A = this chain, B = another copy of it.
Amino acid sequence: MIRFECDYAEGAHPLILEKLAKTNFEQTPGYSMDEYCKRAASHIKKLCADNNAAVHFFVGGTIANLTVIASILKPYQGVISADTGHINVHETGAIEATGHKVLTIPSDDGKITAAQVKEIYLEHVENPEPEHIVAPGMVYISHPTENGTIYTKKELTELSELCRKYGLPLFMDGARLGYALAAPGNDLEISDIAKLCDVFYIGATKIGALFGEALVITTDSFKKDFRYYIKQRGALLAKGRLLGIQFDVLLENGLYMDIAKNAIDCAMLIKAACEKKGFKFLYDSPTNQQFPILPNKYAEELSKNFAFHQWKKVDDSHVAVRFCTSWCTTKENTDSLVSAIESL
């Protein structure tokens, strides 16, 4: 069985394991106050072209999301998100558990637009009795989205400008950020994102690390006392250097982007094979997740040798599936899948 099920099935890039072994008996202060975290933060500030950015490290996405959102919102505010957003559907109510409503915008492909945010915001402030209703307090997007789609620079700029006009902080969940940056058609750099968002993270759990999301706060007002929030949510790793070391390895010489590119290359081969067979796609994804719509019998046949998700029933005879590549998907396994698709 060859697996295209998810992008967190393996461990870490070998260079990370090497560095962990090499530094194993060094004694460092705990809680990310060590030199490795400083080095990693320094790489990130450079990528962001922002020396004043605050950088913090998290073990995973859900805890990063809830910590950030609970730190920004006032008690009566909610967070605007696509209805498909990870915080809305796949975190067991983690945001609500911190006291906040997720204010949803309908989305087919996982993205939301400036116009949609404008509408939900104006609907609130134009209500004659707004205090009876949750106030929109920030905007959450994921990039790439849960459906593999990405924002263009134009789209993100429009969203950012609108958010700033209305005083809505913009937070980007970048659990798979590298895959967006490496996608064909991408025109955003990390420094753009740093400018356009107030807070975002560079995800590595799904791109080469054992675990780790590097949170970047570029807007001053959200930097203050942020370590309190991390500790209160149980998110302050005792041996914080483990996070610093991993991001140091990934970002020092561009490893992060190199291995993200591998996932995209593999995904594009699979995409091309599907297109050649005339399959349609559920979402127009240029990233590591591909959602072709297959006749049921083809899906069944492929599942004999390949593991992948049955994403959504499309009609009685078709199913959308998800093929997910990753930083360590091999050319060999990709070729096997491509051949199998071609032979359907």
Check: A30 CB closer than 8 A to any chain B CB.
yes
Complex Cα gap A17–B12 (Å): 12
Rounded to whole angstroms, the CA-CA distance of A129 and B59 in the bound complex is: 21
Segment of A229-237, A265-273, A275-283, A297-305 engaged in the interface with chain B = A229-237
Q: Does A255 reach chain B (CB closer than 8 Å)?
A: no
Q: Mark A90-104, 1 if CB is under 8 A from B, else 0.
A: 111110111111100
Check if A122 is an interface residue, CB within 8 A of chain B: no
A residues 210-255 near B (Cβ < 8 Å) are 210-211, 225, 227-239, 242
Check if B89 sits within 8 Å of A75, measured CB to CB: no
Knowing A60-B238, A239-B210, say if A17 contacts B8 (CB, 8 Å): no
26 contacts between A and B (CB under 8 A): A6-B30, A9-B30, A10-B25, A11-B24, A11-B239, A11-B242, A14-B24, A20-B210, A21-B21, A25-B328, A60-B238, A65-B234, A76-B231, A78-B93, A78-B96, A90-B133, A92-B228, A93-B100, A94-B232, A96-B99, A97-B98, A131-B225, A131-B227, A205-B238, A211-B242, A233-B233
Q: Are B24 and A74 in contact (CB under 8 A)?
A: no
**Across-interface contacts of A64 in B (CB, < 8 A):** 234
Question: Which residues of chain B come closer than 8 Å to A211, judged between CB atoms?
Answer: 237-239, 242
Given known contacts A76-B228, A133-B92, A3 and B24 CB-to-CB distance under 8 angstroms: no
* A135 contacts partner chain B, Cβ-Cβ < 8 Å: yes
Given the known inter-chain contacts A11-B239, A78-B93, A93-B100, please indicate yes or no for A24 contacting B17, CB distance below 8 A: yes
Q: How many Å lie between the Cα of A130 and that of B239 in the bound state?
A: 18
For A76, A230, A238, the residue with the greatest tally of chain B CB atoms inside 10 Å of its CB is A76
* Closest chain B residue to A14, Cβ basis: B24
A234 lies within 8 A of B62 (CB)? yes
CB–CB B94/A234 < 8 A: yes
Contact assessment for A132 and B11 in the assembled complex, using a CB-CB cutoff below 8 Å: no
Instruction: Give which listed residue, B12, B91, B210, B233, contacts A97 with CB less than 8 A.
Output: B233
**Looking at the complex, which one of B63, B96, B132, B230 makes contact with A96 (CB distance below 8 Å)?**
B96
Q: A132-B92, A225-B76, A234-B62 are in contact. Are A17 and B10 (CB under 8 A)?
A: no
Does A70 sit within 8 A of B, measured CB to CB?
yes
Tell me, yes or no, whether A28 is within 8 Å of chain B by CB.
yes
Interface size on A, residues (CB 8 A): 75
Residues in chain B near residue A129, CB distance under 8 A: 31
Indicate whether A26 reaches chain B with its CB closer than 8 angstroms: yes
- Taking the closest CB of chain B, its distance from the CB of A334, in whole angstroms, is 15
Known interface pairs A11-B239, A93-B78, A94-B233; A135-B25 also in contact (CB < 8 Å): no
Contact present for A10 and B30 (CB under 8 Å)? no
Q: Known: A132-B90, A228-B135. Is A66-B234 also a contact (CB below 8 A)?
A: yes
A92 touches B60 (CB 8 A): no
Is A27 among interface residues, defined by CB-CB distance under 8 A?
A: yes
Known: A75-B70, A76-B225, A134-B92. A231 touches B62 (CB 8 A): yes
Q: Which of B25, B29, B31, B92 contacts A11, CB < 8 Å?
A: B25
Residue of B nearest to A8 (CB): B238
**Contact status A91-B232, CB under 8 Å:** yes
- Residues on B with beta carbons closer than 8 Å to the beta carbon of A75: 70-71, 97-98, 229, 232
